[in-house]
Structure 1
Amino acid sequence: MRKLSVGLLAAMVSTGALAAEHIVKMKNAGAEGPMVFEPGYLEAKKGDTVKFVMTDPAHNSVSVAVPEGAESWSGQINQEITVTLDAEGVYVYKCTPHAPLNMAGVIKVGEPTNYDDAKAAVEKLTAAAATNKDRLKNYFANVK
């Protein structure tokens, strides 16, 4: 029994040690144009974290679609937020004040278990956007 406990503990510690932290910058201007998250598309592993970092003021990160079993998030304006990706699937998020400019992004974790829900969220955000109509669709096109 003791060997089993030690083995389980070692497995949990090693899994946590393999988790990565990804940085997503919230920017007024970037390689993809004005009001953008960089990178706008990210592939990560279950257990990784994403830290949304202030590069310019007046931004936030708010989840729009998350896989079943994952926690949604709602960052405050002008504050960094760190999110743990605790379920496989597709995460779609936006910057609340700049959603009309299609300031949004996509994170894929493992298998895209919620593909249809995430696609619907992308379509809704894109339809409501006044500019940068192709940006979010292009990010989502990477989800396979």
Structure 2
Amino acid sequence: MITRKPLLSLTVVLLVLSSTFSLAEQHTIEMKNRGEDGNMVFEPGYLKVQPGDTIQFLATDPTHNSVSDTVPEDAESWSGAIDEEITVTLSKEGVYVYKCAPHLKMNMTGIIQVGEPTNYGEAQASVEKLTDVSATNEDRLRGYFRQVPIP
């Protein structure tokens, strides 16, 4: 005979587990020759997500890739090939700074904030380093980074 108490407990556990797994979201970032922020851009250039969310980089236009430049400690980096759509799941909180290697001089860069900006200082140094090597769009990455709250 099944009593109501164990059945209720089992139902609660199943609801909690199903809601935990359904919280992760999938986001899309397009790699474009032209977008709202000018030429050679990731769109959106700044994205705030939660730990466990998945990001899909779409090769909307040719000759782009997505390569992580700075990631939080113990987080996985990524490096997509030219014209490759790549999907990454970001589990660690912090700021992820990424670039398109062929178009770095044009400051084709972006920022993903996952939860709290735990590596703010390291990300800020990365923003400055990448901006220093750009020949155009010098304020683009700094503008994205200004959306990250100072901890």
Q: How far does residue 70 in structure 1 lie from its aligned partner after superposition?
A: 1.2
| Regions of 4+ moved over 3 Å | 3-13
Structure 2 unaligned residues grouped into runs of 5+ = 1-7
How high is the sequence identity, in percent, across the aligned residues?
59
The code of the aligned residue for 1:44 comes to V
How far apart are residue 20 of structure 1 and its match?
0.6
**Cα separation, 2, equivalents of 1:104 and 1:32:** 11
Task: Name the counterpart of 2:93.
Answer: 88
Contact 1:16–1:47 (8 Å) recurs in 2: no
Aligned to 1:121: 126
The yes-or-no answer on 1:32 pairing with 2:43 is no
Which consecutive residues of structure 1, in runs of 5 or more, have no partner in the other structure?
A: none
Could you say if the C-alpha distance between residues 11 and 68 of structure 1 is closer, same or farther in structure 2, counting changes exceeding 3 Å? farther
Q: Partner residue of 2:112?
A: 107
Q: Where do 1:11-90 residues align within 5 Å?
A: 11-90=16-95
Higher alpha-carbon Rg:
2
Alignment RMSD (CA, Å): 1.9
Alpha-carbon contact 1:26-1:60 (below 8 Å) kept: yes
Match of residue 5 from structure 2: none
| Cα distance in 2 between the residues matched to 1:135 and 1:129 | 10
Q: 1:47 to 1:131 in 2, by over 3 A?
A: same
3-state SS of 1:133 partner: coil
Q: What is the TM-score of this pair, normalised by structure 1?
A: 0.92
Distance 1:109 1:76, change over 3 A: same
Report the CA distance between 1:76 and its aligned residue: 0.7
SS of equivalent residue, structure 1 residue 43: strand
Counterpart code for 1:80? E
CA shift, 1:7, in A, is 6.4
Query: What's the TM-score, normalizing by structure 2?
Result: 0.88
Q: Secondary structure at the match of 2:76?
A: coil
Aligned length: 144
- How far does residue 54 in structure 1 lie from its aligned partner after superposition? 0.9
